[in-house]
Amino acid sequence: METPLDDQESLGVGLKPGDAHYRAYVGPPEDYDLIAAMTFNLLTTLGLRQDHSLLDVGCGSLRIGRLLIPYLNRGKYFGVEPNEWLVQEGIKWELGEALVQTKRPTFFFSDSPETIAQTKVSFDFALAQSLFSHCGLDLIKNWLSAISRSLAEDGALIATFLPGKEDSPREGWVYPECVSYRPLTVRCLAAEAGLRCELLDWKHPKEKWLLFAAPKFDSGWFKDKPLTWNARLEKALGKKNEGNLPSAAAAIPADVSHKEGHVYDQDGLRSIHNHEFMDDPAFRKAYERGVRAAGDDYRWHWRVHVGLWAAACAARLEGDFVECGVNRGFLCSAIMEYLDWDSLGKQFYLLDTFRGLDERFLSEEDKVVSGAVEKNTLNLASGAYVQGIEEVQANFSQWKNVSLIEGPIPETLPQVRANKIAYLHLDMNCSPPEVAAIRFFWECLVPGAFVLLDDYAYYGYFSQKSAMDRFAQEKGINILSLPTGQGLLVKPVDVR
C-alpha cells in the first residue's frame, strides 16, 4: 500500500479508485473532500445534532468520519469497516490520535451486517455512502435488515445507490466495479425491512441519495419542497418558539385553530395570512371525503380550498365538469361531497390511465427538467399512484352522475360526451397530455369556465408551466400563478 511520507501530505491525486492508497481506495481522490462535505451537509440538514448516535457503515479511511467524529459528542460515532488499514491510515493522516482519545469513536473491523447488533445502541442516524453501489441484492437486504433493527423509531439511514433499468445479478461484495438496481427493487427491500424509502433531492457526483426512514422519522417538512439548510433551521427554531405563541392563539381550541395569527405551513406554502376556511364545517367534511378517497391526508388544504372555490363558481354556469389525472380522486371526491354532486344534474368526467404516466406522452422537458420518468416510477412503486381502475371504482359508487374513463390521454379524450364544460381540472404531472386536453376542450369551455392547473407553479414541475404558458400566449391570455403551486385560468368571454 502507498503511504505518504511523514513530511508531506500525499493526497493520492492521479490514482484510480480502488488503488492501494487510503484516499484512492475509497473513490476518486480528487473528490475526497467533496464527498465529505456533501454527506456532512446532508446529515446536518436532515437534523443530525451533537447528541445523536451515528453508525457509519463502510467508514473506510474516515473520509466523512473525520468531520463527524469531532462534531458528535464523545462516544457517539460508530464505524464498521472490514479493511482495518483504511481506518488506521485515516486516523494517522486525517483525524489524528488526539481526537480519537478525546471523542472515543468505536470501530468494528468486520464485513458482517450482524456486527452492528453488538453495539446495543439505538442509532439516530446511519450512513452508507457508496456501499450499496458495491453490494449484491443479498447483501443490501442483510444490511437493511440489520440497520433497521438498530435504528431508533425516529431514526433514519441515508445511503447512495446507482439507479438502473435492470437489477444486477451479482452477489456479495463487488469492488471496485459498481452495480445498479431498479429503484422499485430497492424500495421493496426497504419495505421488507420496515423502512420508508424516499429519493432525496441532494446531488451526488455519480449516484443518488436515498432516505430509509424508520416509522417516526419526520421527512414531511421537505416533502415536495427543497431540502435546504434554511428550511431545516426554520423548522428547528419553529419548534423552540412553539412555547411563545401569542396567548390568543394558544387559547384557540385544537380543532378550530386556523384563525388570525396561525401559521399555515404545509405543501410547500408557509403563510401567516388568514386560512380559517380550514375550520368551516363544509370544507372539513369535503376535505375528509377527499382523504377517504385517497387513503391518505396529503395536507394540501389550501389547494383543496382553491379547487372547491373554483368548482362552486363553475357549478353556477352551464356545463359539465372534467378532470384529467384523477388517481384515487382526492380533489374530485372533495368537490362532489361539497356540491352534493348528484343534485346538480351535471356529469363529472374523470379521465386517467389509472396506472401512472404513459411515457409515450412525455416531453423532453418533462423528462429532463421535471424528472417525470423517475417520479412516475417512484409513485407507482410506493403505491402513491393506483395500479388499476378497480382500485378506485368503489370510491365513486356513491354518485350516479360520474363517468370514469380509463386509458391514456390524448387517446381517450373523444370519449367525453360533453358539449359544454364549466370546470376543467388538469393534474397529470406531465405536459403533452395536459396541453392536448385543454386544446381538445377549449371550444366546449363556456365563457367564464374555470380551468385549474394543479402543477402549474408547483416546485419541480416547471415543464408543465412552460408548456401551458405557450398555449396561453397563443390564445392571448395569462394564467394566474397561485402560491399553492396551482395555476388558474378563467376563459374570457371574448376569446375563442
Which C-beta is closer to ligand SAM: that of 105 or that of 408? 408
Of positions 213, 311, 409, 467, contacts ligand SAM by CB under 6 A: 409
Backbone dihedral angles phi then psi of residue 394, each to the nearest 5 degrees: -60, -35
CB of 425 to ligand SAM, least distance (A): 7
> Would you say 53 or 464 has its CB closer to ligand SAM?
464
Count of residues that interact with ligand SAM, criterion CB under 6 A: 23
For residue 60, state whether it binds ligand SAM (rule: CB under 6 A). Answer: no
Stretch that binds ligand SAM, among 162-170, 253-261, 355-363, 457-465 (CB under 6 A): 355-363
Location of C-alpha cell 486525517: 94
Q: And the C-alpha cell for 183?
A: 429503484
Q: How many CB atoms lie under 10 A from the CB of residue 118?
A: 12
Per-residue H/E/C for 305-349? HHHHHHHHHHCCCCCEEEEECCCCCHHHHHHHHHCCHHHHCCCEE
Q: Which three cell numbers stand for residue 8?
A: 508531506
Q: Does 328 bind ligand SAM (CB under 6 A)?
A: yes
Among 29, 356, 485, 487, contact with ligand SAM (rule: CB under 6 A): 356
Nearest to ligand SAM of 113, 329 (CB atom): 329
DSSP-assigned letters across all residues of 349-389: EEEE-SSS--GGG--HHHHHTT-HHHHHHHHHHHTSS-SST
- DSSP letter string, 174-233: --SS---B-HHHHHHHHHHTT-EEEE-----SSSEEEEEE-TT---GGGTTS---HHHHH
Q: Taking a C-beta distance cutoff of 8 angstroms, is the pair 404, 350 a contact?
A: yes
Among the listed residues 325, 336, 457, 491, the single contact to ligand SAM using CB under 6 A: 325
Q: How far is CA 314 from CA 116, 147, 475, in A?
A: 60, 53, 21
Radius of gyration of the chain (CA): 26
- Residue 361 in contact with ligand SAM, rule: CB under 6 A: yes
| Min dist. Cβ of residue 384 to ligand SAM (A) | 8
The CB-of-488 to ligand SAM minimum distance in angstroms stands at 15
Does position 336 interact with ligand SAM (CB under 6 A)? The reply is no
Smaller CB separation from ligand SAM, 125 or 361: 361
Does 86 sit near ligand SAM (CB under 6 A)?
no
- Min dist CB 444 to ligand SAM, Å, is 19
Cell of 187: 424500495
Residues between 259 and 298 with contacts to ligand SAM, criterion CB under 6 A: 294
CB of 144 within 8 A of CB of 193? Answer: yes
* Span near ligand SAM by CB under 6 A; candidates 188-196, 309-317, 352-360, 444-452: 352-360
d(CA 430, CA 366) in angstroms, rounded, equals 6
- In the complex, least distance from residue 458 CB atom to ligand SAM, rounded to whole angstroms: 10
Q: Should residue 227 be labelled a site residue for ligand SAM when binding is judged by CB under 6 A?
A: no
Q: Is 154 helix (H, G, I), strand (E, B) or coil?
A: strand
Stretch that binds ligand SAM, among 22-30, 115-123, 227-235, 353-361 (CB under 6 A): 353-361
Q: Which is nearer to ligand SAM, 167 or 411 (CB)?
A: 411
- Cα–Cα dist 110/30, whole Å: 27
Which amino acid is located at 87 in the chain? V
Among 81, 89, 352, 366, binds ligand SAM (CB under 6 A): 352
Smallest distance from ligand SAM to CB 15, Å: 47
Peptide bond into 281 cis (omega under 30): no
Is the Cβ of residue 159 or residue 405 nearer to ligand SAM in the bound state?
405
The answer to whether residues 175 and 134 touch, using CB atoms and an 8 Å cutoff, is yes
420-459 residues near ligand SAM, rule: CB under 6 A? 427-430, 433
Residue 90 or 408: which CB sits closer to ligand SAM? 408
* Options 86-94, 117-125, 147-155, 345-353: segment touching ligand SAM (CB under 6 A): 345-353
- Interaction of residue 58 with ligand SAM, rule CB under 6 A: no
Q: Which is nearer to ligand SAM, 319 or 356 (CB)?
A: 356
Q: Is 17 in the site for ligand SAM (CB under 6 A)?
A: no
Q: Nearer to ligand SAM by C-beta: 92 or 355?
A: 355
Residues 368-387 that bind ligand SAM (CB under 6 A): 385
Cell 359539465 maps to which residue?
320
Residue placing its CB nearer to ligand SAM in the complex, 63 or 328: 328
| Interaction between residue 326 and ligand SAM (CB under 6 A) | yes
Alpha-carbon distance of 423 to 406, in angstroms, equals 20
Q: Which three cell numbers stand for residue 285?
A: 367534511
447 closest CA partner among 309, 307, 313, 344: 313
State yes or no: cis peptide before 410, omega within 30 of 0.
yes
- Which residues make up the interface to ligand SAM (CB under 6 A)? 294, 325-331, 351-353, 356-358, 361, 385, 408-409, 427-430, 433
